[in-house]
Structure 1
Amino acid sequence: MRPHSSLKQEFLKKWVMGLQRCSFSEKNMSILERKKAIKLSADIAMASARNGTTCWSRSLISNASNDGSDSYLVEQILGSDSDRPAVENKAPTKRASVCKKIVKRSYRIRRRRRRKYVASTPSSIAKHLVRKRTQVLKSLIPGGEFMNEICLIEETLDYITSLRVQVDVMRSLASAFVTASE
């Protein structure tokens, strides 16, 4: 993992470039559109600062590239396709989603049967809570739904570190603007 200072510098450089490309000078841009553009440019800048070495960064880049309106900004921040890190498309196929439905239905049926015969034990309650919290964590991390538990924990730690860097840079930039305006 790189030191925070180099990650901050790389993020700031890419984020400023992304903000310049968003063309905020347009007066007909609403506040929500500006917010979306700032968030998108920050996400893409953070993902590109990680050079596509993590699953969450590849997922953010892939999601933004697949969205038609955001693909232009992604190209501006990341450069051409040859400069861009390789992004694997791990979107589930239709067959996989059908199989998931069947598996979920069978789990529900088994769970109903088990509830009739087995009383809740502390270990089963703990396993249920861990499973539930893992699902919540998978939904919070970009690309988390395709990760196993060990990879999910590593990616979560890296994502949290990157978000902290992002907050630190934004905070220092905001304080610089406040002191400059006074």
Structure 2
Amino acid sequence: MSNSSAPMKQEFLKKWIKGLQIYSNFKKEMTIFERKKAIKLSADVAIASTRNASTHWSRALMSDVSTDDANDAAKIIVEQISGRKADKYSRSSSSKDLMMTCSNKILRRSRVASRRRRRINNRGVGTSVKACSIAKKVVKNRTRVLKSLVPGGQEMDGVCLIKETLDYIASLRVQVDVMRHLAAAAERLDPPKRSIL
């Protein structure tokens, strides 16, 4: 564990275990599929709550979990781990915040881009139209894929999407590291039995 992310890893582990305990108290008998769902749900809520709703992806993830009508345990886990009511994570409020945050950046970038285009056109220097259109299509496709991977990504513009993606990746790394350490510790406690032939 690196020193910089150690407190975040400890916080995630504590919240993840708390979420698993809440889920198991809510539902005593679980199938393997339900256990898998409980582990994922608890891990998602725990990692999103470590960000204290300071990022758009964490609010979107909490919103998705807390609006799952088929799963009452999810709402309870969100409320217990985050300390906030589940309805505070409504998708509409986080979308409005995101629009306000990113709108100035969009305006600034469009002004800069239009100035650049004017300068290029005035000089008579242009790039190949075909190469430019291919590059735009590639960027558009990759942006669409990225938006589908990051929670709440569909409402983000390019600049916000990159910042949120970087933060989301760092948080997923923390999640994976903790899970790996936990799996390794469990394996050391209960080593697999080898068959003697």
Q: Do these two structures clear the TM 0.5 threshold for a shared fold by scoring above it?
A: yes
Describe the superposition over 1:95-125 as per-residue Cα deviations: whole angstroms up to 9, x where unpaired: xxxxxxxxxxxxxxxxxxxxxxxxx711100
Supply the distance in 1 between the matched residues of 2:183 and 2:88 (Cα, whole angstroms). Answer: 33
1:75 lines up with 2:84 in the alignment = no
Contact residue 9 and residue 178 of structure 2 kept, 8 A: yes
The structure 1 segments of at least 4 consecutive aligned residues displaced by more than 3 Å after TM superposition are 84-88
1:172 lines up with 2:174 in the alignment = no
Describe the superposition over 1:14-68 as per-residue Cα deviations: whole angstroms up to 9, x where unpaired: 00111111117833x1111111110000000000011110000000111111112
User: Cα–Cα, structure 1 residues 71 and 85, in superposed 2: closer, same or farther, change >3 Å?
Assistant: closer
Contact residue 51 and residue 58 of structure 2 kept, 8 A: yes
Calculate the TM-score normalised by the size of structure 2: 0.70
**Counterpart of 2:161?**
152
Supply the distance in 2 between the matched residues of 1:142 and 1:173 (Cα, whole angstroms). Answer: 25
**Counterpart of 1:133?**
142
Supply the distance in 1 between the matched residues of 2:9 and 2:87 (Cα, whole angstroms). Answer: 20
Aligned partner letter, 1:26: K
**Counterpart of 1:87?**
89
Structure 1, unpaired ranges of 5+:
93-119
Aligned length, in residue pairs: 152
The alignment partner of 1:51 has SS state of coil
What's the % identity of the aligned pairs? 54
Cα RMSD, aligned residues only: 2.4
Structure 2, unpaired ranges of 5+:
96-128, 192-197
Supply the distance in 2 between the matched residues of 1:85 and 1:45 (Cα, whole angstroms). Answer: 17
Describe the superposition over 1:123-175 as per-residue Cα deviations: whole angstroms up to 9, x where unpaired: 10010110011011001100000001000000000000100100000000011
**Counterpart of 1:162?**
171
Calculate the TM-score normalised by the size of structure 1: 0.76
**Counterpart of 1:110?**
none
Supply the distance in 2 between the matched residues of 1:128 and 1:9 (Cα, whole angstroms). Answer: 42
User: Cα–Cα, structure 1 residues 76 and 86, in superposed 2: closer, same or farther, change >3 Å?
Assistant: closer
Contact residue 78 and residue 84 of structure 2 kept, 8 A: no
Contact residue 52 and residue 86 of structure 1 kept, 8 A: no
Supply the distance in 1 between the matched residues of 2:89 and 2:67 (Cα, whole angstroms). Answer: 11
